[in-house]
Amino acid sequence: MADGPALLRADTVEVRHHGHAILRGVSLDARAGRVLALLGPSGAGKTSLFRVLVGEERPARGRVLFEARDVTREPLWRRARRGVGYLPQGPSVLFDLTVEENLATYAAIVGRPRRELAELAARFELGAHFGKRAGELSGGERRRLELARALCARPRVLVCDEPFSGVDPAGSERLARLLRALAIEDGVAVVLADHHVVESLAIADEVALMLDGVIEMRGTPEEFQRHPAAQGRYLGHWRETLPPA
């Protein structure tokens, strides 16, 4: 498959917390029309890298480029306007507002017409919950709202931190298809981190394995499944339950 242009790129990024090196010279790029899965054990640094990519955290060293422009010092909202969408790992809805109000608030910020929100909600099976407070949603419903909100801005890059967490199996499958369609049909550069390995590998064009703050390997899902470090440090015996590479 031909490579699309690199839209968002981390270039030798370093992050430190309390004197500990969390990211140690990480380079990674998200390409238009491609799904990149960033996989690795808890604590490896996936969320830390995403926070740097979207503008929630400044790296101690290194740069972030959006379409070759240095955006390292730009805040999250400015990168969002450029087309960087973000689904954070933790809950990020406004709990006291309804589903509709949550979407409308974000739509107003990014300039999406309110009349299009019902369709967006329907796409994420949120239509029946439109008037419900976000704080009353189930975990999976809330995740769908957070993703719908991230898509309000029609992002060109979508950074998804554990999109499948809390979503039931059939819902995860639908969500995986939707993320794949965003890349294939809309040309979005999708980057995701998730421990739902089956769903992630099924839709990924490429996989990067992160261990201890470095990218240990990058390759096809098949190369990932065969890689000794992926098998030993991350998958453990679960590798035997994966569909054959």
Ligand X SMILES: Nc1ncnc2c1ncn2[C@@H]1O[C@H](COP(=O)(O)OP(=O)(O)OP(=O)(O)O)[C@@H](O)[C@H]1O
Per CB under 5 A, residues contacting Mg ion are 46-47, 89
Please report the beta strands in the chain, taking only residues with DSSP state E, as ranges in sequence order. Answer: 6-17, 20-31, 35-39, 61-66, 69-70, 84-87, 157-161, 189-193, 206-211, 214-219
Residue from 1, 2, 19, 42 in contact with ligand X (CB under 6 A): 42
Nearer to ligand X, 133 or 218 (CB): 218
Residue 43 beta carbon to Mg ion: minimum distance, rounded to whole angstroms: 8
Query: For residues 66 and 28, what is the distance between their CA atoms, to the nearest angstrom?
Result: 12
Query: Position of tokens 């390997």?
Result: 217
Q: Which is nearer to Mg ion, 46 or 79 (CB)?
A: 46
Q: How many residues bind ligand X (CB under 6 A)?
A: 12
Name the residue type at position 135: G
**Binding ligand X by CB under 6 A: which of 7, 10, 13, 22?**
22
Nearer to Mg ion, 47 or 225 (CB): 47
- Contact residue for ligand X among 30, 31, 32, 45 (CB under 6 A): 45
Q: Which residues contact 122 (CB under 8 A, 6 or more apart)?
A: none
| Per-residue x/- track, 74-113, ligand X (CB under 6 A) | ---------------x------------------------
Sheet arrangement for strand 189-193 = 84-87, 157-161, 189-193, 35-39, 206-211, 214-219
What is the maximal distance between C-alpha atoms in the chain? 51
- Among candidates 185, 178, 153, 181, which has minimal Cα distance to 163? 178
- Using CB under 6 A, pick the residue from 44, 148, 175, 203 that binds ligand X: 44
Q: Closest distance between ligand X and the C-beta of residue 81, in Å?
A: 25
| 163 near ligand X, rule: CB under 6 A | no
DSSP summary character for residue 98: B
The span from the CA of 36 to the CA of 206, in Å, is: 5
Answer yes or no whether residue 43 interacts with ligand X by CB under 6 A. Answer: yes
The answer to the question of residue 69 lying near ligand X (CB under 6 A) is no
Minimum distance between the CB of residue 113 and Mg ion, rounded to whole angstroms? 34
Judged by CB, which is closer to ligand X: 46, or 227? 46
Residue closer to ligand X by CB (options 72, 89) is 89
Look at residue 184 and give its three-state secondary structure: helix
Write out the residues near ligand X by the rule CB under 6 A.
Answer: 17-18, 22, 40, 42-48, 89
